[in-house]
Structures are given as C-alpha cells and as structure tokens.
Structure 1
Amino acid sequence: MDKQLNKAVIQGITGYLPDGVKPLEYFMKFLDISKEASYRRLRGEIAFSFDELVKLAQELNFSIDNVLDEHSNDRIVVDLNTTINADVETGFINAIKENCGSLKQAEHSKQGELTALINRPDLFFLVRFEYLFKLYYYKWMLHTYSPIDRHFSDVVMTPAILDAGFRFRAIENSLYRCSYIINRNLFEPIVREIYYLYSLNLISDEDLLLLKAELIRLLDDISILMQRGHSPSGCTFDFYLSILNVETNVAYASFNEESVSQYWFSSVNPVYIYHPDSCAMNKKWMEAMKKFTVLISQSNEALQAKFVKEQRAYIEQITHAIH
C-alpha cells in the first residue's frame, strides 16, 4: 500500500471511531497488538493488513470501499460472504443476516428499490415457503460445507433459522418498488435441481410432492403479482420477460444515498459489491437489459398467461420422476 493511500486509510478509520476514543489505545486493544505496533500504524510506517481492515470495518460499521475510494478508484472490494469457520447453522444465519444487512437501509427509506435479473426464483420468493426455504438451506449447506451425503428429510429448520428467514422476508415491507427481469424458463433450473437430488435418493417421494405443491403455490403468487402489480404490503412489482437468456442472478438495490449490487455465481451464494461506481454501472447495465424484454405485469395478458402455463408444465414434470 503506497504512503498516500495508507494515509487516507488511517484518516478514514480514525474518523469512524466513537467520540472520546483514542486511536492508539483502541487499536492496541481491538487488534491485540503492542503499543509500538499501534504507533507505527498511526504514523504510517506499516500498513494495516487486509484482515485488520475487515475486522475494523465489521466492528465500526464502515465500508472499506468508502475508505479506499478517494485514492483508489481503480479498485473495488468484494464481499464474498464466506463463513466457513462457523458451524453450518450459524454460517447460514450469518449469510441471511448479511443479505438483510445489505438492504437494511431500506427500512429508513420511502424510495427503496430493488431491480433483479433472475433465471430462477430468488430468496425473496423461496423464503415464503417452508420446504422451498428448507431446500435453499439444503443447497447452501451442500455448496458451502458438505459433500452430498445428508438426506433432505434429515435437515432441521431450527427456530433461529426460521427467524432469520422471517426477518429477511420483512424487508419487502420497506421497499417501494421491485423490478424483476425474468428468464422464460424461470422454474426449470429449480425443477432440474430437485429432480437431480431425487435421483440420488436424497429427497423422498413425500418431500418431492411437498416441494411440487409449494412450487405451484409460488407460481400462483407470482401470477397474482403480475396481474395486480403490487404486493399486500403496497410494494410495486414490475415483471419483464427477457427475450435473451439470463445466465445468472444479478440484483441492484438503492435506498437514500446507499446502493449495493449482488451477483450469484452459484444458486445460493451471492457476492456483494458496495462500490458506488460499480453499483452505478450495474444499474445502467440492468436498465439497458430492459430493452430486450417485454413488460408482462398488468399488461400483455396473453404473454403473461403463456409464461405461467409454461412454468406450470415444468413443475408438473416433477411427478414423472416418482419411481
């Protein structure tokens, strides 16, 4: 780290310290370093390590992007949201909290907006249903921690996990508008995943039928949102059917002066970026994608009905898998 950038980092971090707290003593205690090591960091003789920056950012609730932004416009910080050192349940709850935290500013904004480009139903939809939320947890667990050796029916949704899901679902009540650019075969990927897990004897016939029933209910809910254009909480929902194939889920949220982008490189683990310029680029790209879509919420009833019929056909294929 060059001296100019290191100076900016020191000024940025000390600016987030509570009033009356001395930086020297704070760094000694919180980072568990000697007095001399703390002095050397404050004088800029040695740089804070990245691990130290992350630890300070989490404790003082600041974005590393904001500290680095003025002197390093060519760099962005990516939050991979990895919690592999925690146990499975704690790791998942932390992941949900991170997702909630990235959108928490919406609670204080009357103009909170979410724009998402999706090729499968995202957590906002799945968390409303017992078995679909359990499936999300199950896939997260397999992606993050375990080989495929645990049966779906053995997974326990503890009260703490359900509470985290409830808190995430409540974010919708704070949003003013949700715009979804959706793939034409929106339900096919999740149906294919369920079938694959079933073929490995990890999902029972009973659970398969329960998952199918909830997928149908989810499709019915989305159909109602398309027809009405708003949720019971008053959030406006716009659905755009993409002409192009949607390769992965991407989201952009804005509230007050804050924004965040999310990118899914797997079906369950998003990457977060808070850098303002990067978020602005993501927003511009997603707005450009609307040129290759057709609005089907509260319009284009024939195309809307065709979309719902095709998704229902994907879901019905689940029954054909039963031995």
Structure 2
Amino acid sequence: MDYQKTFIDMIANSLPAEEKLVDFISKLINLGKEASYRRIRGEVEFTLTELVIIAKKLNINLTSLILREGGEKTIFNLRLQQESDPYSSYTKTIDAALNVFEGLDKRIGTTHYFACRSIPDVFIAQYPNLCKLQLLKIQFNADGIPPSRLADIIMPQKLLKKQAQYWEELKDIDLVYILAPNLFASTISDILFFYELSLISEEERKALKDELFSLIHDLDETARSGLFRNKELQLYVSHVILDLSHSLIESKIMDASVINLHFPNSLLSFDREVCLAHKKRMQLIKKCSSLISQSGEPAKKKFLATQRAFVEQL
C-alpha cells in the first residue's frame, strides 16, 4: 500500500503543527483512534469515501497518488489534445495545468520551475498576434483540418479568461524561469514558415515583429526590476541550448513533473523517482545559467541582443 504511506505523508504535511494526525483522522471520518492508527500504520486501507473526504478537506490532488508500480515501470499521464478546433485544444491545455494546481496548498511554499526552449505562454499572453500564432500552430498540426490564415483566427473570450485564471494561480507561487539562449529562434522559424505558406500576411508579419520587440522590452524590464506584472520572479538565462521545454512543481505536499512535447501536448508525472530525476536535471541547468533578474548585466545584455538579432530576421 505505497499510496497509503504517501497519502498519510500528505495529510501530515498539511496539518498545523499543534494538531495530531490521529486526532484529525478520527474526527473527520468518525473513526475510533485504534482504527485510525491501523490506517496510519498501513494495516488497513482507507475506503474511497474516506480518501475523498480527507482530500477535499485538505485540498489534496488524488491524481498525485498515481505512483511507481512494479519494478521499473513508471506512470505518466500523456496529455494529448485531440479537439477538432484549436480554441478548445488550447483551453484544455490550460485546464490541465490548473488541475495540477488544485493539489497545492498555497500556504506551504511552492516553487514552479520552468526551463524554456521557446517563449513562455505567460509572456505571450499579452500580445494578440503571438497568441493567434499559437492557435495557428495547433491547427496546422491537427489531422484533417485545413489551417486558417492568421487573419481568420479570433481569440475567444473563454480562452482569454483561462489565460487570466492561469496567471492568477501562478501569482501565489514562487516562479523561476530559465530561458534558452536562443529563446526566440523557434518563434521566428514558425512565423517565416507560415509567411511562406501565405497564412501570415506582410502586415501581420510586421505586427508580429513589433510584438516581439515589445516582448524583448518586457524581458528587459523584468530583469531590471525582478517583477513581471507586479509579481516577483527569478529570471535566468541558460548557457546551454535546451532541447525541449519542461517544468517542475515542488511543494511539501507533492511534486509534479511536466515535459512538453510538440505543442500543446505534454507528459505529466507525480512519480517520486521521475520528479527527483527531473529536479536534478533542473538543478544542473540552473548551475549552467546566469541569474539576470536584478543582476547579471553582461549576461542579460548578450541575451537580449541575441533575441533582437533573431527578430531582425523578420
């Protein structure tokens, strides 16, 4: 009953220091102390009803109890978007991220690390044409759906609200962004590709170029102040090329590992061993990076100059 030990650890980490674990369980699910002790020791399994009652009370994400099973087998949640339109697909991608946040207690310190091969969505969200480019990429990679022109893509209100909701969740978490040295390269390649296919007009190409220059200015301001949209965060620049984007959530209740595949698909795991390996990888990348928020002026200038050179290609 490995899941039971993990669940007990989650409960213990969520309780105030002065409250005893056995007393909490006994009162909440109406058990005698001996019956509660048997569950704490793992001699008796919690019933499904008991699990749900405790999880709801402490805001514990039961998905995170999907752990390593048998030998070297590791459990991943392959999050593939198969919606027929890009709007639903992008919305469900954000919903998937929000579902992970449901298992976090913001009172306990939580850190979200991002290793970014391409521009993070939170930086793109303020720019309408770059957001529409994301939708165009989803549509282009969907089976059997003719891609629209950028001009025909409209950001629905539902998606805008989801983006705002996602940022509200992030505001309560410590954020660490590690940016690839060639961060803008893939976006430039996408724009030029769709421009050659006449899915992006000359006017839109110029508008995207302007938005990217504005985004560089945002990154400069964030690095200078350590603030993005009035939220403190740490901004690093990696000295090594990142093959893909990935993120790691660390908290006292649970950890979560997310590996981005071809946008918007991803792999999610709550497995201890996966998260530990991911943590070591993230620490290695961080060691090979320079902190540019409120420090690292030479590294920041070089990074921003490189991104400007990419944008000039447009």
- Fold shared by both chains (TM-score > 0.5): yes
Deviation at 1:279, TM superposition (A): 1.1
Q: Partner amino acid for 2:235?
A: D
Is residue 171 from structure 1 mapped to residue 169 from structure 2 by the alignment? yes
Cα distance between partner residues in 2 of 1:261 and 1:138 = 27
Q: Which runs of 5+ in 2 are unaligned?
A: 1-41, 54-59
Match status 1:157 vs 2:155: yes
Q: What is the CA–CA distance in structure 2 between the aligned matches of 1:143 and 1:280, rounded to whole Å?
A: 32
The residue correspondences of 1:4-15 to structure 2 (distance < 5 A) are 14=48
Match of 1:101 in 2: 99
2:227 alignment counterpart:
230
Counterpart of 1:251 in 2: which secondary structure? strand
1:168 & 1:195 partners in 2: Cα distance? Answer: 29
Select the residue among 195, 212, 216 that pairs with 1:215: 212
SS at match of 1:116: strand
Change in Cα spacing, 1:160 to 1:109, as seen in structure 2 (3 Å) is: same
Q: Displacement of 1:308 after TM fit?
A: 0.9
SS in 1 for 2:79: coil
| Cα distance change of structure 1 residues 135 and 308 upon mapping to structure 2, 3 Å threshold | same
1:263 lines up with 2:259 in the alignment: yes
Pick from 176, 182, 187: which aligns with 1:185?
A: 182
Give the unaligned 5+ runs of structure 1: 1-7, 20-59, 319-323
Query: Alpha-carbon deviation of 1:196?
Result: 0.6
The verdict on how the C-alpha distance between 1:16 and 1:313 changes in structure 2, with shifts beyond 3 A counting, is farther
Deviation, structure 1 residue 287: 0.4
Question: 2:65: which partner in 1?
Answer: 66
CA distance in 2, matches of 1:209, 1:110: 45
Alpha-carbon distance in 2 for matches of 1:102, 1:243: 30
- Kept in 1, the 8 Å contact 2:67–2:271? The answer is no
Aligned to 1:311: 307
Matching residue of 1:75: 73
Give the Cα–Cα distance (whole angstroms) in 1 for the partners of residues 146 and 265 of structure 2.
17
Paired AA for residue 285 in structure 1: R
Superposition deviation, residue 17 in structure 1: 6.2
What is the Cα deviation at residue 181 of structure 1? 2.2
Name the residue aligned to 2:274: 278
Matched AA of 1:66 = L
User: CA distance change for structure 1 residues 79 and 245 in 2, over 3 Å: closer, same or farther?
Assistant: same
CA contact (8 A) 2:239 2:289 kept: yes
The answer (yes or no) to whether the contact 2:179–2:238 under 8 Å persists in 1 is yes
Q: 1:109, 1:256 within 8 Å by CA — same for their partners in 2?
A: no
What is the identity, as a one-letter code, of the residue corresponding to 1:14? Answer: L
Partner of 2:246 in structure 1?
250
**Does structure 2 retain, via aligned residues, the 8 Å contact 1:219–1:308?**
yes
Which residue identity is paired with 1:122?
P
How far the C-alpha of 1:88 sits from its partner, in A, is: 4.2
The structure-2 alpha-carbon separation of the partners of 1:18 and 1:171, relative to structure 1 and needing over 3 Å to count, comes to closer
Give how far 1:272 is off.
1.4
2: CA distance, partners of 1:275 / 1:282: 10
Task: Report how far residue 294 of structure 1 moved.
Answer: 2.5
Whole-angstrom distance in 2 between the partners of 1:282 and 1:144: 29
TM-score by length of 1: 0.73
Is contact 1:172–1:235 with CA below 8 Å preserved after alignment?
A: no
Post-superposition offset of 1:147: 4.8
CA pair 172-85 structure 1, distance change in 2 beyond 3 A: closer
Report deviation, 1:269: 2.2
The alignment status of 1:194 with 2:191, answered yes or no, reads yes
Q: Percent identity?
A: 21
